């Protein structure tokens, strides 16, 4: 039985120009000895080609569900692959909110990612209102049903659990709640997909150098999807190191 991938993933969102690749160089050099984890940066598409071959795995932040066509401003999974990506985030809450993406849209994007040989990082997460109403697990189960297509395997899919209310706010659930929610996600995946229980599940939402160790200590957390703290090597490297220290020996 192969161990689940442990991934320190950055999501640069709409940040970063060529000059910021100095951060990537520092991240890559720190990643070299961390053999137990995957260090991944999901970058604006404009940076991918310039970032390739520098020692970190690369991902896109979104892709279109179609392989090509008259879709001005959109980018296909194949284009991301061609530019050096091996992963792509789909269904991030900012896409679901800003662009009205539904679970069905997200599932179509995940399938498009697979068709181009990309690993889909499928994001799920409850809003603050849903959290307060105690509906987290129910909401996540519905998102998994709708967003994770048949054919999802631990090889082609990573799940990112990102509570919407924790993104960019400095708030996080208690570590016990993160573990409980990840275990519930894993159980749902296991009932819906043959190898679902073996998928890597990342936590995202205000992961910082000072809380990474506690978050990664949870047995069902297989890494982090990090926004703001992935933009600077000084913040992201300690997060990568915390993951490697916590899980690197599992590989």
Residues catalogued as catalytic: 92, 162
Q: Does 11 bind ligand 13P (CB under 6 A)?
A: yes
Q: Residues near 182 by Cβ (< 8 Å), separated by ≥ 6?
A: 161, 201, 203, 218, 220, 221
Q: Which is nearer to ligand 13P, 62 or 162 (CB)?
A: 162
Out of 226, 233, 237, 239, point to the residue binding ligand 13P (CB under 6 A). Answer: 226
For the CB of residue 115, give the shortest distance to ligand 13P in the complex, in Å: 23
- For Cα atoms 100, 51, 3, give the angle at the middle one, nearest 5 degrees: 75
- Partners of 234 in the β-ladder: none
Q: Which is nearer to ligand 13P, 154 or 227 (CB)?
A: 227
Range in contact with ligand 13P (rule: CB under 6 A) among 14-22, 103-111, 127-135, 224-232 = 224-232
Q: Which is nearer to ligand 13P, 92 or 193 (CB)?
A: 92
Range in contact with ligand 13P (rule: CB under 6 A) among 65-73, 96-104, 222-230, 242-250 = 222-230
Query: How many residues in the shown chain lie near ligand 13P by CB under 6 A?
Result: 14
Give the chain's largest Cα–Cα span: 47
H or E stretch covering 128: helix 128-132
* Residues in region 156-215 near ligand 13P by CB under 6 A: 162, 167-168, 204-207
Distance from chain centroid for Cα 99:
19
Angle 21-31/233-247 helices, nearest 10 degrees? Answer: 20
What phi, psi does 131 have (nearest 5°)? -65, -50
Out of 48, 225, 237, 242, point to the residue binding ligand 13P (CB under 6 A). Answer: 225
Q: Residues near 125 by Cβ (< 8 Å), separated by ≥ 6?
A: 93, 140, 143, 161, 162, 163, 164, 166, 167, 204, 205
For the CB of residue 161, give the shortest distance to ligand 13P in the complex, in Å: 11
- What residue is closest to ligand 13P based on CB? 227
Residues lying near ligand 13P in the complex (CB under 6 A) are found at 11, 92, 162, 167-168, 204-207, 225-229
């Amino acid at each position: 039985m192969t161990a689940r991938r442990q991934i320190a993933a950055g999501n640069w969102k709409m940040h970063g120009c060529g000059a910021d690749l100095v951060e990537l160089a520092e991240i890559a050099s720190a990643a070299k000895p961390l053999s137990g984890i995957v260090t991944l940066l999901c970058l604006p598409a404009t940076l991918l080609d310039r970032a390739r071959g520098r020692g970190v795995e690369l991902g896109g932040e979104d892709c279109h569900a179609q392989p090509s066509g008259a879709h001005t401003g959109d980018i296909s999974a194949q284009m991301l692959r061609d530019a050096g990506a091996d992963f792509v985030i789909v269904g991030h809450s900012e896409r679901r909110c800003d662009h009205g993406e539904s679970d069905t849209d997200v599932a179509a994007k995940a399938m498009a990612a697979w068709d181009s040989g990309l690993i889909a990082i499928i994001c799920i997460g409850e809003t603050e209102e849903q959290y307060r109403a105690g509906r987290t697990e129910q909401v996540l189960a519905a998102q998994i049903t709708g967003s994770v297509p048949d054919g999802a395997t631990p090889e082609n899919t990573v799940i990112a659990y990102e509570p919407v209310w924790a993104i960019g706010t400095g708030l996080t659930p208690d570590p016990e709640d993160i573990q409980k929610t990840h275990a519930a996600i894993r159980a749902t995946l296991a009932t819906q997909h043959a190898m679902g229980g073996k998928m890597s599940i990342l936590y995202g939402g205000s992961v910082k150098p000072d809380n990474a160790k506690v978050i990664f200590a949870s047995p069902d957390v297989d890494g982090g999807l990090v926004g703001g703290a992935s933009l600077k090597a000084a913040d992201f490297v300690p997060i990568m190191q915390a993951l490697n220290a916590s899980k690197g020996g599992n590989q």
